Amino acid sequence: TDQDLYRCVTQSERGSGVSNFAQLIVREPPRPIAPPQLLGVGPTYLLIQLNANSIIGDGPIILKEVEYRMTSGSWTETHAVNAPTYKLWHLDPDTEYEIRVLLTRPGEGGTGLPGPPLITRTKCAEPMRTPKTLKIAEIQARRIAVDWESLGYNITRCHTFNVTICYHYFRGHNESKADCLDMDPKAPQHVVNHLPPYTNVSLKMILTNPEGRKESEETIIQTDEDVPGPVPVNSLQGTSFENKIFLNWKEPLDPNGVITQYEVSYSSIRSFDPAVPVAGPPQTVSNLWNSTHHVFMHLHPGTTYQFLIRASTVKGFGPATAINVTTNISAPTLPDYEGVDASLNETATTITVLLRPAQAKGAPISAYQIVVEELHPHRTKREAGAMECYQVPVTYQNALSGGAPYYFAAELPPGNLPEPAPFTVGDNRTYQGFWNPPLAPRKGYNIYFQAMSSVE
């Protein structure tokens, strides 16, 4: 309040006029000293206490008003209040507001300046909804890219929110996985990586803010095919014969799609027979998707072959699995001795025969053996076509004492017979521990020549 003597002074072109002094009292409009107090807050309301008991200026107070606005806006609203508290309704969630109190005393110009501001923010509201149906932007074998509508404030109802993609899938071999990935809400595209190929993946999006969450419906997407995994090495089985190998296998544990074919390439890598070439190019065979075995023909005996097996989908071949299989060795082949040159010379105690080198089949010749069988009237000659080798070496002395029908007259190293050469049965010499005794005169003998192969 300001009290003093005042008078009016007027001026014009003709002169000045002055009134008498009068005593006037000037009143200051009221204004709160402190800002309003916040009592409660929600997504769309603020409950305040006016806190207008302490004022600057003169009373009496005949009107209290609340003035509020968004701190980021330009508009202002004023509401008359007749209670010590007031609730502001229909506010925007997660929005900052500035609130002041206006006081008015009687008389013209009795409304004072707004009091100090209360600056506060409403809470977030629960999201309105999730984005509409997820849009699949790209599908690859191990990743899925997802698009959705822009997430504006009218959907999120909060300036702070999270977008999460949750996915799960089931595969064979009891494999399953479920996970959730936090995404950048501002990114135009969202990618889920490290997925298994050719698998149904369930996707859903979750929009979360501090006040709640909204989940979308699940969308099921099948990832694309990829090249298959390797054929299981423990499923490879090879059965060996002299000139062929039977090989079977199983489908890859991770087919990563629909198997369309199998490819098997094979080549010889080593052989017990030095005459077999092992540096040739590999050969390749293809099997249909439902054929997991193959018989490889026309192979060399005693030879190790490496097989590389790989499966294919429409995306191409996967990695190869290797297995080495060795064919069985075969008995050496001897030329036919029936006919001419079978016997070169005979004496009373010897018979000279022509020995021809054997042809190795799968393993080198390890020894030649000459077997002598004495003919008896009641014993028939062995069939040439059904001959089998004499497996048990018997010396002449053991044959006499044990009554064996045959004995080994000699064993020759393969280096002793590089080409056809004569050999005298009954020359009374010892070969590799076998005595070649003179033959008995006027007796008949069968003389057998056999070759041995060994990989020992």
DSSP string, 2-25: EEEEE--EEEETTEEEE---EEEE
Q: Is the pLDDT of residue 423 over 90?
A: yes
Q: Can you give the pLDDT at residue 340? A: 54
For 325-337, the DSSP string reads: EEPPP-PPB----
* In the predicted structure, residue 373 carries a pLDDT above the cut 90: yes
pLDDT band of 385, cuts 50, 70, 90: very low
Q: Return phi, psi of residue 386, to 5°.
A: -115, 25
- Report the chain's terminal Cα–Cα distance, integer Å: 127
Rounded Cα–Cα distance for residues 8 and 17 (Å) = 8
Please identify which residue in the block is written with the tokens 């008949």: 444
Under 8 Å CB-to-CB from 174, ≥6 apart: which residues? Answer: none
Which distant-in-sequence residues (6+ apart) come within 8 Å of 360 by Cβ?
Answer: 273, 275, 332, 453
| Span 161-169, average pLDDT | 92
DSSP states of 267-310 as a string? Answer: EEEEESSTTS---PPPEEEEEETT--EEEE-SPPTTEEEEEEEE
What value does the mean pLDDT take over residues 435-444? Answer: 94
* pLDDT for 379: 56
Lowest mean pLDDT among 103-107, 131-135, 173-177, 288-292: 131-135
Average pLDDT, rounded, for the chain: 90
**414 secondary structure, DSSP code:** G
Residues 6 or more apart whose CB falls under 8 angstroms from that of 231 comprise: 249, 250, 251, 252, 262, 309, 310, 311, 321
pLDDT level of residue 109 (50, 70, 90 thresholds)? confident
With CA atoms as reference, report the closest residue to 364 among 320, 332, 401. Answer: 332
Q: Report the range of poorest mean pLDDT among 119-123, 139-143, 168-172, 410-414.
A: 168-172
CA dist 448 and 358 (Å) reads 13
Q: How far is CA 75 from CA 34, 72, 80, 215, 388, in A?
A: 23, 9, 17, 36, 116
pLDDT of residue 129: 87
Percent residues over pLDDT 90 in the chain? 68
Residue 440 has pLDDT above 90, yes or no: yes
Q: Look at residue 415 and give its three-state secondary structure.
A: helix
Q: For residues 286 and 294, is the Cβ–Cβ distance under 8 A?
A: no
Q: Is 398 helix (H, G, I), strand (E, B) or coil?
A: helix
Query: What average pLDDT score do residues 415-425 get?
Result: 93
Domains and CATH numbers, the chain: 31-121 (2.60.40.10), 135-222 (2.60.40.10), 233-326 (2.60.40.10), 343-453 (no CATH)
pLDDT at 389: 84
Please say if the pLDDT value at position 382 is more than 60. no
Q: CB-hemisphere CA count at 13 Å for 438?
A: 6
Check pLDDT > 80 for residue 2: no
Q: What backbone phi and psi angles, to 5 degrees, belong to 139?
A: -125, 120
For residues 39 and 53, give the distance between their C-alpha atoms in angstroms, rounded to a whole number: 17
pTM equals 0.69
pLDDT, tens digit, for every residue of 270-283?
998 888 888 889 99
Which residues on adjacent β-strands are paired with residue 166?
180, 204
| CA gap 180, 167 in Å, rounded | 6
Peptide bond into 188 cis (omega under 30): no
164 and 130 Cβ atoms separated by less than 8 Å:
no
